[in-house]
Structures are given as structure tokens and as C-alpha cells.
């Protein structure tokens, strides 16, 4: 489904880091989309980097972007920690009430398990939603390939125009689904060369474009000469696509209960706000950077759950659109080559079977002829390439 590209990662430079920081700030003030947690397809080189020791090393651009996302909470904890340090240094020794003491650490030792459980449950719930949506998107590819393959195998040669129309609308199914789920028009560019301008305008004006595309596909199937069992098999694949789309709709429209999310976030904020009152007795002024780092780590875990809670924001939908479009159109484009491979294989098998029934002298003559025919291909059942068919090219 995804297109893998063997590209080297760009080198980290301070100019690139500064430009990324400026872009992050602009996204914050303009409420633009964040791409920090987007799950792009992995290339082989990225898999190697992902599993190597370098995964333990911090990435400057990523760390700066996460720090920027959590900057308000970090500034709050730093301000509280600074106030606690000033109070413990100048006010408390002069007889002011004892508000800073290392004895308070027992409170955080008793409540730290609650913070851990809330973070684990929160991130697990978000990951469950992400995985369900990713599985549903993977089901799209199976439905597209299976339905197109069955129609190509069962349709009559006289119905090539219906097969071509089915492939066009099948290629537009996933972009319309992604545009509907994300409520963004950028996904329609994947079908600009597939659908006619009037068809694209009509589809963009529909309230639920993927359902309309499924209706068109079912209407095209009804016009073919397939029997009821064959049509039912293809309709089952379209229904499976609709069920997977419904799962994505459900995840997109309904978030994790707000009380779950908000209580977890507020619990962590309260925990981090009062933590400097207990840390001062152990770390003194070193407590300020330690409090900022703890805020970055704990709120970073909570922020991961927030980002992946809505999977369609982070899944590589553009790659899905391009991959499923290619899967639908390439099967029709290469159908002639597949049939050519089948016919040549059957001819070679029939010739081998006929040669087995002839006398030994004739077998040797036929065998030498078959070896000459199969030279350059490795054996008599495989072909390296096939000539293109003008008729098939005209149909596609």
C-alpha cells in the first residue's frame, strides 16, 4: 500500500533547527496542523535506523518541537519551582511558615503509582484506537485488489468498458474516503487525472463521497453479465470496505471520554506543581532544571496519547491514496500480460504432455524444440516480459 523510498535523512543543521522552530511557532499561533506525530511509511534505510542504537539519541528538531508544544506547562512548573526556591532561600529561614520540606516526599511516593497507571491506561486506550484504524485502512487494500481481480477474471471481453469504468471509480474510492474523514480537499488531487471534471465536482459536493462511490461501483456491477454468486462475492468486498470505513468514522467522531483525558492531564499538572516543595530539600537550586525535565517527560507521554487518539491525523493517508489508486489501475493495465502468461504456460504444459505420449525418438526431437523456445527464459513456464497489447492499452 505504501510507497517505499530509499532516501537519506537530511542532515541536522542549526539553520534547519531554527527554521523548524519558527514553523512550529507559526503553527501554534495560526492553529495549523502539526506533523510531529505523523506515521510516514518506513523505507528499508529507516527501518535500519529505527532498530539501531541511534534510536536512543535525542533528535534536536523533534525535542525542540515537543518542548514547544509543552512550553506553557513547562513555564508554569518552572515559575512555581523558582518561587519555591526563593521562598525556601529567603523567606522560610526568617520565620515564615514551613512550606518547603523534604518530608513532603512521602506524599509523592504514595501517589506516583496513580500517575503511572493513568498514563499507561491513557496511552493504551489511544494506541488501541490507532491500531484499529490502521487495520481498517489495511483492509481497504485487500478489498480493492480482491474486487478488481474477481471482476477481471469473471467479466466477458465484451464488457471491457465496464471493467475500465469500475477501475476508475475504484481508484477514486480511497481518496474520497480520506477527504471525507479529514474534511480536507488536498486528497482530491489523487483523482484529478482519473475522474472527469464534472464527476469530480459532483463527488466533492456530496455529503458522503465514499458511499456515493460505492453506489456507483454497485451500479456498474449490476450492468455486467456476472451470475448472482459472482456478483455477491464482489459485493462482499465492497461491503467489507464500507465496514472498515465505518470503523474509521466511529473513531474519528467519538473521542476517549473527556473525563478520562482531562482528569489524567490535571492530575499530572497538580503532581508537577507541588513536586518542587518536596524536591528542594534534596536538590536545592538544581531542582529547577530537574522539574522542567520531569515535566517534559511526563507530559510528553500524555501528549503522545492525545496525538494518536485521532489516528487519521497521523496515518499516511496520502500514501494510502496513491497506493490504492495504483493497485486499482495497474491490475487493469497489466491484465493482458497476465492472460498472456497463462496462455503461454498452458501451451508449454500441453506441448510437454503431448511429447510424453510420443515415441522416444519423437520425444527427443520435441524436447530439443522446446529447449530452443524456452532459451532466455529459464524454463518453458516463465517469461521475462511480454509485448504490450494495443487493444488493452486502448481500453485502459
Q: Could you tell me if 339 and 247 lie in one domain? A: no
CA 216 vs CA 72, 199, 211, 220, 378: distances in Å:
50, 11, 9, 6, 45
Q: What is the DSSP letter of 100?
A: -
* pLDDT surpassing 80 at residue 19: no
Q: What's the average model confidence in pLDDT over 304-321?
A: 90
Q: Could you tell me if 200 and 167 lie in one domain? A: yes
> 16 versus 350: which is more confidently predicted?
350
Q: What's the average model confidence in pLDDT over 309-318?
A: 90
Reported confidence tier of residue 391, pLDDT bands at 50, 70, 90 = very low
* pLDDT surpassing 90 at residue 76: yes
Write down the pLDDT at residue 51: 81
In tens, the pLDDT along 37-51 reads 666 667 787 778 778
Write down the pLDDT at residue 386: 33
* pLDDT surpassing 60 at residue 61: yes
Distance of CA 265 to the CA centre of its chain: 27
Reported confidence tier of residue 341, pLDDT bands at 50, 70, 90 = confident
CA 190 vs CA 159, 179, 195, 197: distances in Å:
26, 11, 10, 13
Reported confidence tier of residue 394, pLDDT bands at 50, 70, 90 = very low
Q: What's the average model confidence in pLDDT over 74-89?
A: 94
Q: Could you tell me if 248 and 340 lie in one domain? A: no
Q: Could you tell me if 326 and 234 lie in one domain? A: yes
Domain that holds residue 178: 130-254+317-333
Collect all residues with Cβ–Cβ distance below 8 Å to 308 and sequence separation of at least 6: 37, 126, 127, 129, 130, 314
Q: Is residue 87 part of a domain?
A: no
Q: Could you tell me if 249 and 344 lie in one domain? A: no
With CA atoms as reference, report the closest residue to 68 among 118, 103, 17, 111: 17
In tens, the pLDDT along 185-223 reads 999 999 988 999 999 999 999 999 999 999 999 999 999
Mean pLDDT of all residues belonging to the chain: 82
Distance of CA 44 to the CA centre of its chain: 17
Q: What is the DSSP letter of 156?
A: -
Q: Could you tell me if 248 and 362 lie in one domain? A: no
Q: Could you tell me if 325 and 386 lie in one domain? A: no
* pLDDT surpassing 70 at residue 360: no
Write down the pLDDT at residue 199: 93
d(CA 331, CA 337): 10
Write down the pLDDT at residue 356: 82
Q: Could you tell me if 328 and 186 lie in one domain? A: yes
* pLDDT surpassing 80 at residue 62: no
Write down the pLDDT at residue 382: 36
Domain final position from 280, 302, 333: 333
Write down the pLDDT at residue 142: 93
* pLDDT surpassing 80 at residue 379: no
> 4 versus 161: which is more confidently predicted?
161
Reported confidence tier of residue 14, pLDDT bands at 50, 70, 90 = low
Q: Grid coordinates representing 292?
A: 522542567
Q: What's the average model confidence in pLDDT over 85-112?
A: 91
Q: Could you tell me if 241 and 358 lie in one domain? A: no
Q: Grid coordinates representing 128?
A: 488501541
Share of the chain above pLDDT 90, in %: 53
Collect all residues with Cβ–Cβ distance below 8 Å to 344 and sequence separation of at least 6: 383
Q: Tell whether the torsion through CA atoms of 233, 234, 239 and 245 is positive or negative.
A: positive
Domain final position from 333, 360, 375: 333
Q: Could you tell me if 244 and 134 lie in one domain? A: yes
Share of the chain above pLDDT 70, in %: 80
Q: Could you tell me if 358 and 323 lie in one domain? A: no
Number of domains in the chain: 2
Q: Could you tell me if 201 and 249 lie in one domain? A: yes
Reported confidence tier of residue 20, pLDDT bands at 50, 70, 90 = low
Q: Is residue 11 part of a domain?
A: no
Write down the pLDDT at residue 44: 81
Q: Is residue 36 part of a domain?
A: no
Write down the pLDDT at residue 25: 59
Alpha helices in 309-359 (DSSP H): 317-333, 335-356
* pLDDT surpassing 80 at residue 133: yes
How many CB atoms are located within 10 Å of the residue 275 CB? 24
Q: Could you tell me if 195 and 203 are in contact, meaning their C-beta atoms sit under 8 angstroms apart?
A: yes
Q: Could you tell me if 323 and 141 are in contact, meaning their C-beta atoms sit under 8 angstroms apart?
A: yes
Q: Is residue 294 part of a domain?
A: no
In tens, the pLDDT along 245-256 reads 999 999 999 888
Q: Grid coordinates representing 295?
A: 515535566
In tens, the pLDDT along 258-293 reads 888 999 999 999 999 999 999 999 999 999 999 999
Domain final position from 333, 363, 382: 333
Q: What's the average model confidence in pLDDT over 303-310?
A: 90
The verdict on pTM exceeding 0.85 is no
Q: Tell whether the torsion through CA atoms of 234, 236, 238 and 244 is positive or negative.
A: negative
Amino acid at each position: 500500500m505504501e510507497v517505499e523510498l530509499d532516501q537519506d535523512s537530511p542532515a541536522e543543521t542549526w539553520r534547519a533547527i531554527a527554521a523548524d522552530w519558527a514553523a512550529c511557532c507559526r503553527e501554534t499561533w495560526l492553529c495549523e496542523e502539526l506533523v510531529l506525530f505523523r506515521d510516514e511509511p518506513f523505507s528499508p534505510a529507516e527501518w535500519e535506523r529505527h532498530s539501531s542504537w541511534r534510536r536512543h539519541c535525542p533528535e534536536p528538531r523533534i525535542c525542540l518541537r515537543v518542548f514547544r508544544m509543552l512550553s506553557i506547562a513547562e513555564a508554569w512548573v518552572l515559575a512555581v519551582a523558582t518561587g519555591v526556591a526563593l521562598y525556601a532561600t529567603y523567606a522560610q529561614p526568617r520565620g515564615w511558615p514551613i512550606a518547603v520540606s523534604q518530608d513532603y516526599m512521602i506524599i509523592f511516593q504514595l501517589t506516583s503509582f496513580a500517575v503511572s497507571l493513568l498514563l499507561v491506561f491513557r496511552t493504551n486506550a489511544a494506541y488501541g484506537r490507532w491500531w484499529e484504524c490502521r487495520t481498517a485502512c489495511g483492509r481497504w487494500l485487500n478489498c480493492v485488489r480482491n474486487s478488481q481481480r474477481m471482476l477481471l477474471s469473471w467479466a466477458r471481453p465484451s464488457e471491457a468498458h465496464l471493467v475500465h469504468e469500475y477501475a476508475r471509480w475504484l481508484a477514486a474510492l480511497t481518496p474520497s474516503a480520506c477527504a471525507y474523514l479529514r474534511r480536507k480537499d488536498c486528497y482530491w488531487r489523487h483523482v484529478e487525472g482519473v475522474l472527469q471534471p464534472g464527476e469530480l465536482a459532483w463527488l466533492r459536493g456530496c455529503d458522503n463521497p465514499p458511499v456515493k462511490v460505492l453506489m456507483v461501483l454497485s451500479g456498474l456491477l449490476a450492468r455486467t453479465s456476472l451470475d448472482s454468486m459472482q456478483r455477491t462475492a464482489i459485493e462482499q468486498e465492497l461491503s467489507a470496505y464500507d465496514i472498515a470505513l465505518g470503523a474509521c468514522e466511529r473513531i474519528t467522531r467519538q473521542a476517549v471520554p473527556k473525563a478520562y483525558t482531562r482528569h489524567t492531564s490535571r492530575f499530572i499538572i497538580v503532581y508537577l506543581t507541588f513536586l518542587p516543595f518536596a524536591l528542594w530539600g534534596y536538590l536545592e537550586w538544581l531542582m529547577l532544571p530537574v522539574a522542567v525535565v520531569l515535566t517534559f517527560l511526563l507530559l510528553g507521554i500524555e501528549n503522545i496519547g492525545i496525538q494518536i487518539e485521532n489516528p487519521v491525523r497521523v496515518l499516511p493517508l496520502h500514501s494510502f491514496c496513491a497506493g490504492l489508486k495504483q493497485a486499482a489501475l495497474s491490475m487493469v493495465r497489466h491484465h493482458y500480460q497476465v492472460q498472456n502468461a497463462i496462455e503461454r504456460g498452458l501451451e508449454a504444459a500441453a506441448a510437454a504432455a503431448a511429447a510424453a505420449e510420443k515415441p522416444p525418438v519423437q520425444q527427443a526431437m520435441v524436447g530439443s524444440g522446446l529447449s530452443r523456445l524456452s532459451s532466455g527464459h529459464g524454463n518453458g513456464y516463465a517469461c521475462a516480459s511480454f509485448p504490450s497489447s494495443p487493444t488493452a492499452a486502448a481500453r485502459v
